[in-house]
Amino acid sequence: MIRPCRWAERATVLLLIVIAAGSILREPATGQIPGPGSAAPWILEGDSLWGSQSVGTDITNPRLRHEELRVRADRGRLSPDRQVLVLTDAVRIEDTLRVVTADEGIYRRSLRLLDLSGNVRGNGPEGEFTARELTYDRTSGILELRGRPEVA
């Protein structure tokens, strides 16, 4: 359950978090810092956050950049190890090949693996597609649709 900070209800606060080497920096980074499991940094922004390093962090309106991938949603939860981002409500991903929307998603940074579920819709080189679930392995470029997949 997302518990927004009271101060964030009164004003939109943009928090820039650079996840690198398993730590959180609460100010913009000045350079590219490689993180565990990936040579590229991932940059995570949100309007507010709540939690701790031991239990994870809830994020309102998370926006993620990892290499050419862009991800956003209404809510997110970052794992304690800072390697998994769980997304809920109005999930949207974009990269150089595809734009996909869904109800929920999970991005595993070190594996470069994205799982989406619920009303999955998108378009890419394969055309327009819909399904109940999708797995996108960004390392291999393989996109797997499950649950009544349709490609037009």
Model pLDDT for residues 30-51, shown as the tens digit of each residue: 333 334 445 578 888 899 878 7
Report, in angstroms and rounded to the nearest whole number, the Rg of the chain calculated over CA atoms: 16
Nearest CA to 65 out of 102, 29, 90, 89 is that of 29
Q: Is the pLDDT of residue 16 over 90?
A: no
| Mean pLDDT, rounded, for 10-18 | 28
- pLDDT on residue 29: 30
| Mean pLDDT, rounded, for 53-73 | 89
Q: Is the pLDDT of residue 11 over 80?
A: no
- pLDDT on residue 67: 86
Model pLDDT for residues 86-112, shown as the tens digit of each residue: 999 999 999 998 999 999 999 998 898
Q: Is the pLDDT of residue 5 over 70?
A: no
Q: pTM for the whole thing?
A: 0.70
Helix (H) or strand (E) holding 10: helix 6-10
| Percentage of the chain modeled with pLDDT above 90 | 43
Model pLDDT for residues 49-61, shown as the tens digit of each residue: 787 777 888 999 9
The CA distance from 97 to 140, in Å, is: 13
